[in-house]
Amino acid sequence: MSVVIRQPGVVLTDHQFQVPLDHTAPQGEQIEVYAREVVAAGKERDELPWLLYLQGGPGGRAGRPLGRDSWLDRALDDYRVLLLDQRGTGRSTPATRQSLPLRGGAVEQAAYLAHFRADSIVRDAELIRRRLLGEHRKWTLLGQSFGGFCTLTYLSLAPQGVREALVTGGLPGLRSSAEHVYRVAYPRVARKNAAHYARYPQDVEAVRQVAGHLAERPARLPGGGLLTVEAFQALGLLLGSGTGSDTLHYLLEDAWIRGASGLELSDTFLGGAQARLSFADGPLYAVLHESIYGQRSVDGGPTDWAAQRVRAEFPEFDAALALKGDGPVSFTGEMIYPWMFETDPALRPLRETAEALAAHTDWPDLYAPQALAANEVPVAAAVYHDDMYVDTADSLATADAVRGLRTWVTNEWEHDGLRTSGGQVLDRLIRMVRGQV
């Protein structure tokens, strides 16, 4: 029996679904996928259209609503919303360092996780749509970041289930390999670094001091992880969000404290760094990250730690080189590196599994360009100008390749505009897809 919870302004209903691990073998092993239905209070019995929210990631569980917060406030004016904990996340059958050993060794774990990409997520969603809505009733998709990637996969594999699609910061390159993704990403991250240091010029020296200290003495984080120079640079993940540069600056303000033996990195700083670097809440983000770009028709080989390989082409991200001079130390961005599976206790037990996935070849295609060229589903997409996480040029090329897709290119918001705009981004996309703007 479904659990129903009331919060101010909303009614929440739990749903649990059995889905095949491998949708090509529907009678085989089953896993659970959890979803939370959200409807405005007083509209519980109304015949509302459904909106499926596809979360960013990979490996991100859906947000936990606190009443009519964030973009939900606008969505609930028109829709009954379904928040999906994508397979392996949240209250769905978990895939973590604690649960994956039940599958066997690294080879078996990697084979299991090969079924956790966008194509499987979309097939889960289609099964759920038929069970909740019926065979012929369609729903609206809202895809944020990686959820936008899933939306393009949905339009490729099962457009018959989609009434309209809304994408925020998540139009993928349909023919982009992992290597290409990172080769065009590093220059964007460099621009975000330049913007940060222009805003906070005092941080040039502050970052050099921390990096220089860590180069000699990596610090132990409160949860047991290791803060190396490379891990410190990975805090640049913050720079792609609307307030990320400010958050990074405030973190650096608290870097030092005078202890019994002199200046040392403060617990406040180390705790803040851990909160932003640990993958304990979402290990699949790291384990599956590069596999989301694997497609046999684009590059049949392995992804093979593309971010690490391509990084060598951009010496401005070499902290040791920067510290030999007097220039700034550059932060990195949304890159996953092999060393993360040594420094993060949540990832360390999954190192061999990640290696097996990095060596995996012949990933199935995720997008069907011919189907997208003949698309009949109304689609509206917010493309954030110079988005640090998703390449704008790739997004616009994809927009041109999808029939009927309308774009709104804006620098008013960063990648997290859906969450931070108070419903403005969602409202604009809804009006676009309806032809009102």
Active-site annotation, residues = 145, 362, 415
Q: Identify the three-state secondary structure at position 94.
A: strand
Could you tell me which of 114, 44, 50 has the C-alpha nearest to residue 84?
A: 50
Q: Which of 228-244 are b and which e, b meaning 16 or more Cβ less than 10 Å from the residue's Cβ?
A: bbbbbbbbbbbbbbbeb
Q: Please tell me the total number of residues recorded for the chain in this structure.
A: 437
**Rounded CA separation 118/113 (Å):** 12
Tell me which residue has tokens 């995996």: 360
Show the tokens assigned to 198. 């222009």
Phi-psi region of 399 (alpha: psi -120 to 50; beta: other; left: phi over 0): alpha
Strand partners, 88: 94
Which residue type occupies 220? R
Show the tokens assigned to 387. 């988005």
Which residue type occupies 258? R
Could you tell me which of 220, 213, 276, 226 has the C-alpha nearest to residue 250?
A: 276
What is the number of H-type helices and E-type strands within the chain? 18, 13
Show the tokens assigned to 234. 């990975």
Q: Are strands 139-144 and 50-54 parallel, antiparallel or unpaired?
A: parallel
